[in-house]
Structure 1
Amino acid sequence: MTPISFLSTDVIRDRFSKAMSDMYKAEVPQYGALLELVERVNQETLNQQPDLHRRLKSQDELARLSVERHGAIRVGTANELSMLRRLFAVMGMYPVGYYDLSEAGVPVHSTAFRPIDDEALACNPFRVFTSLLRLELIESETLRQRSEEILAKRDIFTSRVRELIERHESEGGLTNKEADQFVKEALETFRWHQDATVDLETYHALHDEHRLIADVVCFRGPHINHLTPRTLDIDEVQRRMPDMGMNPKVVIEGPPHRECPILLRQTSFKALEESIRFAGNAKGTHTARFGEIEQRGMALTPRGRELYDQLLREGRKQAAELDNEAYQAVMNKVFMALPDCEETMRHEGLAYFHYCLTEAGQTAKGNASNDLEVLIEQGLVEAHPITYEDFLPVSAAGIFRSNLGGEQNEAYEGNANRGSFEEALGSQVTDELSLYAERERASKANVLSSVKGDTVKA
């Protein structure tokens, strides 16, 4: 009997990512214009910075740049979140990081489903930032109970995708044909629906509590609310958006522009006002979907992250209510306390690095020092910053608020509850910093093993 051939999770993820991009482009035409703008800016940046081009190519990041996307969805119940965990596992995506957005006045907590190992990230680093509505933070008992009743009646997954998820779990994979079916069926969970599941009065009651609550509760599913391409120059994209008919948010979220980019910078064009049909044939509008852009830099260590968080708080305090140009000027001044030099960042233990042999190092096996710093000085080893693959809670909340009317509710603040989130998820989330630390450790071990002539990798 011929053994069944299963498709790799990386291939399924790549197919799904591209299919979702096509779907979102059809639903939100401005997304297509955004992709064109980002591609043009990226190409110009690579032409102007040949060293950056060389580095991205050597780190296998150039090929992934054009397909790199992250999406975002919001779900309403523990059952929906748990099933999403199983759905994303079919695509080799796992929950990484816990994000408490209540600290910024938004009634959700979140994780990011993404690939974890280096090969999977190089293939397609598709991520979905997934938030769970925190009904317990709704002050009105009547609204809270009404929301629970509405959410209990819906099923955001097709029966066929449930079958395929169970088959993947029981058989260990999906065939090529089943993978195509899975992509088609899974897309239905993320599709936009113009018909609300509630009447206009209920919608307005939830909307007045918080727009995000109305967005999660009042529709058939957690429509994808943005799909984000990665740019190499977010300041230039922000500057050009108005010329493309896009209305950008006031400020770019995250750290300021630096010679050595860190973590994550994000901006977006404002959410679209879309026509909705409510139960009872009433008509109205809803604002949810928008276009986001991101620029990724190096991952920071706990020490670097502590300094970043401190500077961000100080900068935001000084720059409140300023436009983007003035905001960035303040942030640039505040962030002078964080070294803008890769070698300094490395020596001070502020960022994570991946170590690899140079061409000279490849020929020096068995005759080289076992001191990593000596190997670097001799030109036998290079240290490259590890790209930050995750998210920032303050930036995520800033994007949310920007596209939900700037609302926040102080009653939601300071309510982190990782335990309840993991209970709803049905598993623990992986600590993102541990992944970077392990990658750095393994690369050091591999380099030292190689120069000694060993064949076994760490």
Structure 2
Amino acid sequence: MTEKVSASDIRASFSSAMSAMYRDEVPAYGTLMELVARVNEEALASDPELKSRLEATDNLSRLSEERHGAIRLGTAAELAMMRRVFAVMGMYPVGYYDLSTAAVPVHSTAFRPVGEEALKRNPFRVFTSLLRLDLIADEILRQEAQAILAERQIFTPGAVAMTEKAEREGGLSEEDATRFVSEVLETFRWHDKANVELSMYHRLHDAHRLIADVVSFKGPHINHLTPRTLDIDKVQTLMPEYGIAPKAVVEGPPTRKCPILLRQTSFKALEEAVSFQDGKGGWHAGTHTARFGEIEQRGVALTPKGRALYDKLLDHTRKIVRPAADGSNAAAYETALAETFKAFPDDWASIRCQGLGYFTYALTGKAERAAPASFDLDTLIAEGIICFDPIVYEDFLPVSAAGIFQSNLGDGAQQEFEASPNQKRFETDLGAQVLNEFDHYASIEKASLEACLNGLQKRPAAE
């Protein structure tokens, strides 16, 4: 029997191939990688405690390989097939994101590995959005867009065949896995010839730039790949030195000693040459703006209580100062953000004690000598028998994602969309339920604590 390649190894191969392809397509991405590598190296050198914590939790080795990408799909059939493709790579839908709340006509999930070992092997994630044609007010345009999307096939016959084979045989051989990666990569490749005439592109564009991006092309093309940095403020400061113009403000929470959730910045989307059909078998020269570079810094996953506080503080900040796309009030926004977020504790002990974040627990060397008299968690931590580490937030921020979309796709006068979350419809189109990220982090925390307590109970009683 032919040995199967693990899903994590297929995912690692695909992530590497995607990164190489995107570096060829968007040279600025390579520059971004060099900058992030430099900043991470300097951050680790200047903070031995951070380095030792990352080493202790096995998060250091994955740092240089960490990426997330993003794609936008047009139909339920594309989403359902994409779910099957990602499953071959050990990536599953986590979380539901309604971006209509930020006037972006999509709803989304994040396909990613969910097990601890899988994340350590390769934490590749793809934020996957489905166009909400139902939010297009112009009924004629909606029907035309639907007809255009119905005509396209974004997966090669080989990609479909390899996915079906993996499902049928419970995995792929090394030869088949290599072909699978090569075939699936084609779905994410850039195409500089549009599926539509220039006049249709303009109509779609006038409804929303993102609608034009999804409907007008042969495939969804990866629109960014995102490396993870340990100091996003330094990256933001150094980007101009590397010939990269950053967006006006970093999305997400302010600079903190104890990072929470996710912070993101990016360089502006590229204006790229595209050919449009002229209706006579020829082509018109034009341009399209879609692909950009993004960098992220990840912090602790927040509990529902922590997330509610985060959302409240962010909302309050934006009522004081809403960041302008041109960056004219960036300093005022950052000042308001820092001031408002003083209400969110900035030390790990307080975040844990107040139930704002998720943590893993582990026994220290002190636990080897004898079992404690008390099994109260706070007492065990105070006595140095149990230690705790923040669980890395592996998911995304709806408001942050929308902020990146808007800054790169333009903030001109475009159609406003009524906020209308519809997770049930999304899951029907997906063909599966999405994993609730809060439940997932809570289960990781609970399992680590139970392992500690079980370990302690097997030790001899304290004198």
For the aligned pair, the TM-score class normalised by the smaller chain equals: over 0.9
Query: Which residue in the other structure is 2:384 paired with?
Result: 379
Q: What's the CA shift for 1:369?
A: 4.1
The 1:179/1:408 distance shift into structure 2, 3 A limit, reads farther
Does the 8 Å CA contact 2:92/2:113 hold for their aligned counterparts? yes
Query: Which residue in the other structure is 2:202 paired with?
Result: 204
The 1:329/1:336 distance shift into structure 2, 3 A limit, reads same
Correspondent of 2:125 among 111, 124, 127? 127
Cα-to-partner distance string for 1:83-139 (whole Å, 9 max, x where unaligned): 000000000000000000000000000000000011111111100000000001111
Counterpart Cα distance in 1 of 2:262 and 2:415: 26
Correspondent of 1:310 among 312, 315, 328? 312
Query: Which residue in the other structure is 1:401 paired with?
Result: 406
Correspondent of 1:447 among 448, 452, 458? 452
Correspondent of 1:249 among 247, 251, 263? 247
Counterpart Cα distance in 1 of 2:68 and 2:132: 23
Q: What are the residue-to-residue correspondences of 1:139-150 with 2, within 5 Å?
A: 139-150=137-148
Q: What's the CA shift for 1:242?
A: 1.0
The 1:110/1:407 distance shift into structure 2, 3 A limit, reads farther
SS at structure 1 position matched to 2:62:
helix
SS at structure 2 position matched to 1:444:
helix
Aligned-partner residue type, residue 320 of structure 2: Q
**1:350 aligns to 2:336 (yes or no):** no
**1:74 aligns to 2:80 (yes or no):** no
Query: Which residue in the other structure is 1:109 paired with?
Result: 107
Query: Which residue in the other structure is 2:44 paired with?
Result: 46
Counterpart Cα distance in 2 of 1:380 and 1:204: 64
Aligned-partner residue type, residue 445 of structure 2: E
Does the 8 Å CA contact 2:62/2:121 hold for their aligned counterparts? yes
Query: Which residue in the other structure is 1:430 paired with?
Result: 435
User: What is the Cα-based RMSD across aligned positions, in Å?
Assistant: 1.2
**1:417 aligns to 2:419 (yes or no):** no
Cα-to-partner distance string for 1:339-360 (whole Å, 9 max, x where unaligned): 1111011111111110011233
The 1:365/1:225 distance shift into structure 2, 3 A limit, reads farther
Q: What's the CA shift for 1:318?
A: 1.2
Query: Which residue in the other structure is 1:225 paired with?
Result: 223
Counterpart Cα distance in 1 of 2:222 and 2:337: 31
**1:10 aligns to 2:12 (yes or no):** no
Counterpart Cα distance in 1 of 2:372 and 2:399: 49
Cα-to-partner distance string for 1:266-324 (whole Å, 9 max, x where unaligned): 01000000000111210100000000000000011111110100000011121223533
Q: What's the CA shift for 1:245?
A: 1.1
Does the 8 Å CA contact 2:362/2:387 hold for their aligned counterparts? yes
The 1:209/1:243 distance shift into structure 2, 3 A limit, reads same
Higher mean Cα deviation, 363-372 or 33-42? 363-372
Does the 8 Å CA contact 2:74/2:215 hold for their aligned counterparts? yes
Aligned-partner residue type, residue 174 of structure 2: N
Does the 8 Å CA contact 2:251/2:400 hold for their aligned counterparts? yes
Alignment size in residue pairs: 451
The 1:152/1:201 distance shift into structure 2, 3 A limit, reads same
**1:288 aligns to 2:290 (yes or no):** yes
Counterpart Cα distance in 1 of 2:415 and 2:340: 27
Q: Which runs of 5+ in 2 are unaligned?
A: none
Query: Which residue in the other structure is 2:91 paired with?
Result: 93
Counterpart Cα distance in 2 of 1:305 and 1:47: 32
- Identity in percent: 58
Counterpart Cα distance in 2 of 1:442 and 1:158: 41
The TM-score, its normalising length taken from structure 1, stands at 0.97
SS at structure 2 position matched to 1:403:
helix
The 1:52/1:400 distance shift into structure 2, 3 A limit, reads same
Counterpart Cα distance in 2 of 1:359 and 1:127: 35
Cα-to-partner distance string for 1:26-68 (whole Å, 9 max, x where unaligned): 0000000000000100100110100000001111110000000
Counterpart Cα distance in 1 of 2:403 and 2:226: 15
Counterpart Cα distance in 1 of 2:397 and 2:413: 17
Q: What's the CA shift for 1:410?
A: 6.1
Counterpart Cα distance in 1 of 2:415 and 2:444: 39
Q: What are the residue-to-residue correspondences of 1:314-333 with 2, within 5 Å?
A: 314-320=316-322, 321=324, 323-333=329-339
Does the 8 Å CA contact 1:365/1:452 hold for their aligned counterparts? no
Does the 8 Å CA contact 1:364/1:451 hold for their aligned counterparts? no
Does the 8 Å CA contact 2:206/2:414 hold for their aligned counterparts? no
Does the 8 Å CA contact 2:239/2:246 hold for their aligned counterparts? yes
Q: Which runs of 5+ in 1 are unaligned?
A: none
The 1:360/1:410 distance shift into structure 2, 3 A limit, reads farther
Q: What's the CA shift for 1:365?
A: 5.6
SS at structure 2 position matched to 1:23:
helix
